[in-house]
Amino acid sequence: MSGPRRIRDLPSLQPVQEARSQAAVSVAILAYAGGGALVLVRALLLVVGIDRSFWAGDLVLRLTDIVFSPLSRVPIATTGLVGNLTLLDLTAVVGVLLVPVGLLAFAGSRG
C-alpha cells in the first residue's frame, strides 16, 4: 500500500483554468467585434443616408437604437455632422476604434 498522496502528486488544475480563461477572452473579443461592427455599419448607413425604409438599415438601426436611444438624451449628442450622422454616432465610432489602441498601450506597459 502506498502512503497518503502528496499535493505535488495530485493532477494540476492549471490546464482547466487556462482553458476557461482562453474561452472568456474569446467571448469578449467576439462581443467586441460584433458590437463594433454594428456601430461602424450604423455610422456608414447614416453617412450614406440609408434610413429605415431599406430592410438592412431598419435592422441595424433597430439593433443599435437599444444603446443609442438613451444616450441621445444628452443635449449636444444629437448635433448633426455629415448626412444623418450625429455627434453621438461619431463618438461611438471613435470609441470602437480606440479600444484596441488602449489595449495595446496597456499590454505594452506591463512588460
pLDDT in the model for residue 3? 59
Reported as a single tens digit per residue, the pLDDT across 73-101 is 888 877 778 878 888 888 889 999 988 88
| Structural domain containing residue 97 | 14-109
Instruction: Provide the β-strand partners of residue 80.
Output: 86
Cell numbers found for residue 48:
450614406
- Which triple of cell numbers denotes residue 96? 470602437
Residue-wise pLDDT tens digits, 16-33: 677 777 888 888 889 999
Nearest to 39 by CA among 106, 96, 100: 96
Whether the CB-CB separation of 46 and 89 falls below 8 Å is answered with: yes
What sign results for the dihedral spanned by CA atoms 24, 30, 34, 36? positive
- Per the structure, the count of domains in the chain is 1
Whether residue 37 lies inside any domain: the answer is yes
Is 8 a member of any domain?
no
In a domain, 1, yes or no: no
Structural domain contains residue 7: no
9 within a domain of the structure (yes/no)? no
